[in-house]
Amino acid sequence: MVKQYEELGFTDDFMFCKVLTSNPDLCKELLALILKKDVTKIGIPESQRPIEITADGKGVRLDVYIEDEDTVYDIEMQTTVNANLPKRSRYYQGMLDLSILKPGANYLELKSSYIIFICLKDPFGKNAPIYTMRNRCEEYEDVYLDDGATKIFLNAAGVSDSISDELRDFLTYVATGNPNGKLAKAIDFEVAKAKSKQGWRQEYMLLEERYKEKYDEGVAEGVAKGVAETNQHRIEHYFRKGYSLEEAFNFFDDLPADTVKAVWESFKQSQEDNASLTEVSSMLLEERYKEKYDEGVAWGVVKGAAENTRLRIEQLFQNGFSVEDVAKLFVDIPADTIQAVWESFKQSQTINS
C-alpha cells in the first residue's frame, strides 16, 4: 500500500533523502553525532546519487551522498532486515572507490570513506545501538589495515548506556517517530515543513506512479511467464508419459500448434543430450525500478501459474473427467488443490443450472 505524502516520516526513503539533502547543517550535525568527532565543513549533500562504472555492470544509487576535501560519506536508511547488507556495504565501498579515483591516479588520492546504514532492526543480533566496522588483522588485534574505509550500522532498536543521550534520542526518533533531543526535534521540524511543499508532493506522487507502472509491468509479464511456464511443464509431462506429438496436438487443442511443437523439439533435444533449458537474462533496470518490477514478476508468476492450473483442471472436469482421473493425470498437483477446484466447479454448475 503506497503511503500518502502526508503520512511520510523520516524513515521513508523519499522524505529521508529530501530532508537531509536540503539541510546541509542537519547532515553535518548527524555525521558529527554518529562519528563522535567534529565535522566542520561538508559539500552539498546529493540525493539518490547514481554510480555506474560500466554500461553492463550493476550500478548503485546512494540515498544521501556527501563529500568534502578528504572524505566521502554515504548515509542509507534501511527499514527492513536484509541478510545481504554486509555484502551490499562491501559493494558500495568498491563503487565509491572506483568513482573517486580517476584513471592513472595514485592510490594515495583515495579519500577516506564512511558508509552509514541507519537500520530500524538489529542487523547483527547483538542488541547494540551501533556497530563500527574496520579492516583488522586476525593474528594481531592491534594491527589495522588503515585503508580509510569505515562502515557503520546504527540499530534503532539497540540498547546501551555507551552512547550519548543525543544519539539515543535520535535512534528513538528513528524507531518511534517521537522527537526528543535537539537533533531529533530539528529533523522532525523539517519533516513537518516538507509536508507543506507542493513541489515535493508532486515529485513524490510522480515517482510512486512510476514505481507502480513498473510493478504493474512486472505483474503482467509475470502472469504471461507463469502461464507459459505452466503450459511448458504440462506439455513436457505429457510427453514423458509417452504420448506422441500428434496426440499432444489433439490434447492441447486450445494452445497454438507451434507452442506444442516447440516444447516437443526442446523435449527431444533434452532427452538426447541431457541439456537443461536456460532462461534469457533480462537487462539491468535502474535499481529502484527493478525492485518493483521483480516484485511484480514474482507475484505474477505465482498468480499466472495457479490460474492456468485451475483452468486446465476445470476444463478436464467439463470434459467429464473425474477427480480420480485428474489426479492420475496431474500427479504433481496436490490432491487438496484438485479437490478444491472440483468443489468450486460443482458449485458453479449448481448455480448455472
pLDDT per residue as tens digits for the range 86-114: 898 998 888 888 888 888 888 888 899 99
Neighbouring residues of 353: CB distance < 8 A, sequence distance ≥ 6 = none
Q: Which of 27-36, 79-88, 129-138, 237-246 has the lowest mean pLDDT?
A: 237-246
pLDDT of residue 127: 92
Q: Which DSSP state fits 199?
A: H
Q: Which of 212-226, 283-297, 306-320 has the lowest mean pLDDT?
A: 283-297
pLDDT of residue 120: 92
Say which residue, 331 or 251, is predicted with more confidence: 251
**How far is 199 from 5, CA to CA, in rounded Å?**
11
pLDDT of residue 284: 43
pLDDT, averaged across the chain: 82
Residue 188's nearest CA partner among 176, 173, 168, 166 is 173
User: Taking 70 as the threshold, does the pLDDT of residue 13 lie above it?
Assistant: yes
Per-residue pLDDT averaged across 217-226, rounded?
81
pLDDT of residue 173: 94
User: Taking 60 as the threshold, does the pLDDT of residue 190 lie above it?
Assistant: yes
Contact 230, 304 (CB under 8 A): yes
pLDDT of residue 283: 44
Neighbouring residues of 298: CB distance < 8 A, sequence distance ≥ 6 = 222
Neighbouring residues of 272: CB distance < 8 A, sequence distance ≥ 6 = none
Q: Which of 45-49, 68-72, 223-227 has the lowest mean pLDDT?
A: 45-49
Highest mean pLDDT among 68-82, 267-281, 330-344: 68-82
Percentage of the chain with pLDDT > 90?
24
Other residues' Cβ atoms within 10 Å of the Cβ of residue 94: 13
Per-residue pLDDT averaged across 203-212, rounded?
80
pLDDT of residue 140: 94
Q: For cell 556497530, what's the residue?
A: 131
Pairing of strands 46-51, 71-78: unpaired
Contact 308, 230 (CB under 8 A): yes
Per-residue pLDDT band at 277 (split at 50, 70, 90):
very low
Per-residue pLDDT averaged across 158-185, rounded?
91
User: Taking 50 as the threshold, does the pLDDT of residue 82 lie above it?
Assistant: yes
pLDDT of residue 144: 92
User: Strand (E) positions, the chain?
Assistant: 46-51, 60-67, 71-78, 112-119, 130-133, 149-155
- DSSP secondary structure of 229-249: HHHHHHHHHHHHTT--HHHHH
Per-residue pLDDT band at 276 (split at 50, 70, 90):
very low
Look up residue 263 and give its three cell numbers: 516444447
Say which residue, 157 or 350, is predicted with more confidence: 157
**How far is 172 from 162, CA to CA, in rounded Å?**
15
Other residues' Cβ atoms within 10 Å of the Cβ of residue 352: 6
Chain centroid to Cα 349, Å, comes to 43
User: Taking 60 as the threshold, does the pLDDT of residue 281 lie above it?
Assistant: no
Q: Which of 84-88, 207-211, 276-280 has the lowest mean pLDDT?
A: 276-280
Per-residue pLDDT averaged across 140-148, rounded?
92
pLDDT of residue 192: 93
pLDDT of residue 285: 42
Look up residue 291 and give its three cell numbers: 525492485
User: Taking 60 as the threshold, does the pLDDT of residue 280 lie above it?
Assistant: no
Per-residue pLDDT band at 1 (split at 50, 70, 90):
low
Pairing of strands 149-155, 112-119: parallel
For residue 181, is it left (φ>0), alpha (ψ between -120 and 50) or beta?
left
**How far is 262 from 305, CA to CA, in rounded Å?**
19
